[in-house]
Amino acid sequence: MEMKDQAIIVTGGASGIGREACLALAGKGANLIVADFNIDGAKAVAAEAEALGVKAFAYKVDVSKAEDVEALVEFAVEKLGTLNGMFNNAGIGLVKPFLEMDPASYLKVIEVDQHSVYYGLYYGAKKMVALGAKGTFVNTASIYGSVAARGSFNYNAAKAAVVSMSRSGALELAEHGIRVVGVAPGFIDTPILGEDESVKAPLAAQHMHNRLIQPEKVASVVAFLFTDAASAINGATVPVDDGFLSFKV
């Protein structure tokens, strides 16, 4: 088990990519903090992870609040004894035309999708350095961190910042034995899309294989990025987009 006894925090761990990442990491032997605002969902995922033979604890967190993320890091060390990394995955979307995107609508997404990644990196890395622990941060960016999309000015801005923070964080933290990388999913088949094929089909058509990406496909890449096999990947944001960024026309 490549990650046996490693201690990893996963935010947004109650569903979608976060849930699948928790299970993939648990499958590699990592002990987990499943953090989410949806505490019931987090508890359910923690139970699934424990069934794979690891320690897992649920924690309710509002990642848009610095003090909540700081407390999350402290909880992780209290329960797991150390900290070896964090999957900064929690995020939201709020689609509006730019001229209707008032400051409150803009900041709601920025605070969750961008500021939370800074909080995770800052408090997580400070704790790891204090403990003398080495490890990895993986941050969820998006294909929309590299290209524009109508109605998503806030989301585009936040995810572009995540790409940049992953790069800059890697540079700043390398001397402490800490890697920082990003992952940029394409269109993922999660419940947030609903069951309306008229919504899903146009998104799927933008991938090379004309289908939505299953969340476990992203999770497998995330889990790999935490392992020593990925130690030469640092500062980069890895697309998991079925060719969207390379071949979209």
Question: Tens of pLDDT along 83-127?
Answer: 999 999 999 999 999 999 999 999 999 999 999 999 999 999 999
Ramachandran angles phi, psi of 3, nearest 5°: -120, 25
Q: Taking Cα atoms as reference points, which of 15, 149, 35 lies closest to residue 83?
A: 35
Query: What are the residue numbers of the active site?
Result: 155
Question: Tens of pLDDT along 178-210?
Answer: 999 999 999 999 877 778 888 899 999 999 999
DSSP-derived secondary structure for 65-80: SHHHHHHHHHHHHHHH
pLDDT confidence of residue 12: 97
Question: Tens of pLDDT along 28-55?
Answer: 999 999 999 999 999 999 999 999 999 9
What is the percentage of the chain residues whose pLDDT exceeds 90? 94
Q: What are the sequence ranges of the domains in the chain?
A: 7-235
What homologous superfamily does CATH list for 7-235?
A: NAD(P)-binding Rossmann-like Domain (3.40.50.720)
CB distance 136 to 226 below 8 Å: yes
In the DSSP assignment, the letter for residue 63 is: T
Beta strands in the chain (DSSP E): 7-11, 31-36, 56-60, 85-88, 135-140, 178-185, 237-240
Cα 149 from Cα 136, distance rounded (Å): 30
